[in-house]
């Protein structure tokens, strides 16, 4: 018995399953598309991927509305392919990493860009920029076998019907099997672990009233509405 009740973290629906996928941990890959790295002022680093995390408490499902968050004047959309882990792996090979992927989904990594950059420039953690309330948005998952191989699929995002991000998954610098294998050097990955694989170029600000819609070919689309600040 707990002293008090926490807000419920939603399970992510899975296509073809009545049961949902519980959200355990949310890992995110930084700068995983060359054109996005460039727009952020960086060259691609092929040395190793890098990661940050978002609290599962900040996860919401597609169709949500979120108030424009406090503390920012530059709140950005980031459209991402999400990996859902389906079996425990630790220090695994790329082949084992691919095999551990249960499903894929569309996700949004909403970001207080001004705070992220200010933190980065001061060599401080990114949490205020990235771990924003309601900022990890997930669409229903599609099982890996139903999606097929990650490759030429288009990944895109629109704000109020205007295309802002438009790329293909082939542009991923670190491929999904490499990401799982690499991240498993640092964590005992397990079912419930989600990995947001990074965003393509074209990130930009949203304001109250904006409607964000995104998709990846072969996956359920994602939507988020920004409402007035509280």
Q: Which region among 31-39, 66-74, 107-115, 212-220 touches Mn ion (by CB under 5 A)? A: 107-115
**Cβ-based nearer residue to Mn ion, 78 or 158:** 78
Minimum Å gap between C-beta 28 and Mn ion is: 5
User: Is 131 a binder of Mn ion (CB under 5 A)?
Assistant: no
- For the chain, what's the residue count? 230
Q: Taking the complex as a whole, how short is the minimal distance between the CB of residue 4 and Mn ion, in angstroms?
A: 32
Residue 14 CA to its chain's centroid (Å): 17
Q: Taking the complex as a whole, how short is the minimal distance between the CB of residue 107 and Mn ion, in angstroms?
A: 9
Residue 100 Ramachandran class (φ > 0 left, ψ -120 to 50 alpha, else beta): alpha
Mark 62-81 with x for binding to Mn ion (rule: CB under 5 A) and - for no binding: ----------------x---
Q: Does 109 bind Mn ion (CB under 5 A)?
A: yes
CB closer to Mn ion, 92 vs 153: 153
**Per-residue binder mask for Mn ion (CB under 5 A), 181-220, x = binder:** ------------------x---------------------
- The least distance separating Mn ion from the CB of residue 64, rounded to whole angstroms, comes to 18
- CB closer to Mn ion out of 78 and 193: 78
Closest to Mn ion by CB, 98 vs 110, is 110
CB 191 within 8 A of CB 102: yes
Nearer to Mn ion, 153 or 199 (CB): 199
Task: Output 92 or 156, the one with its CB closest to Mn ion.
Answer: 156
Integer Cα distance of 62 and 224 in angstroms: 6
Q: Rounded to the nearest whole angstrom, what is the least distance from the CB of residue 1 to Mn ion in the complex?
A: 38
Could you tell me which of 85, 62, 89 has the C-alpha nearest to residue 143?
A: 85
The SS3 of residue 115 is helix
Q: Which residues contact 51 (CB under 8 A, 6 or more apart)?
A: 27, 28, 29, 30, 183, 186
Distances in Å between the Cα of 91 and the Cα atoms of 25, 101, 182 are 18, 15, 8
Give yes or no for a contact between 194 and 58, defined as CB atoms under 8 angstroms apart: no
Alpha carbon distance 167, 154 (integer Å): 6
Q: Which residues bind Mn ion (CB under 5 A)?
A: 78, 109, 199
């Amino acid at each position: 018995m707990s002293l008090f009740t926490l807000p419920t973290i939603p399970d992510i629906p899975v296509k073809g399953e009545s049961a949902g996928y519980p959200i355990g941990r949310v890992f995110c890959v930084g700068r995983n598309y060359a054109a996005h790295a460039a727009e952020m002022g960086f060259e691609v680093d092929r040395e190793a991927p890098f990661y940050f995390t978002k609290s599962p408490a900040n996860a919401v499902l597609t169709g949500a509305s979120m108030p424009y968050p406090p503390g920012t004047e530059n709140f950005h959309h980031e459209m991402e392919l999400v990996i859902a882990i389906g079996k425990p792996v630790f220090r695994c090979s790329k082949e084992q990493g691919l095999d551990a992927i249960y499903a894929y989904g569309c996700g949004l990594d909403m970001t207080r860009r001004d705070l992220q950059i200010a933190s980065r420039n001061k060599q401080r953690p990114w949490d205020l920029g990235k771990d924003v309330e309601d900022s990890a948005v997930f669409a229903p998952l599609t099982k890996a076998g139903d999606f097929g191989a990650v490759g030429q699929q288009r990944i895109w995002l629109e704000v109020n019907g205007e295309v802002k991000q438009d790329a293909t998954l082939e542009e991923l610098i670190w491929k999904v099997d490499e990401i799982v294998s690499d991240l498993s050097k640092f964590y005992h990955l397990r079912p419930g672990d989600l990995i947001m694989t990074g965003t393509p170029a074209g990130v930009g600000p949203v304001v109250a009233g904006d409607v964000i819609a995104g998709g990846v070919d072969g996956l359920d689309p994602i939507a988020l509405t920004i409402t007035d600040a509280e």
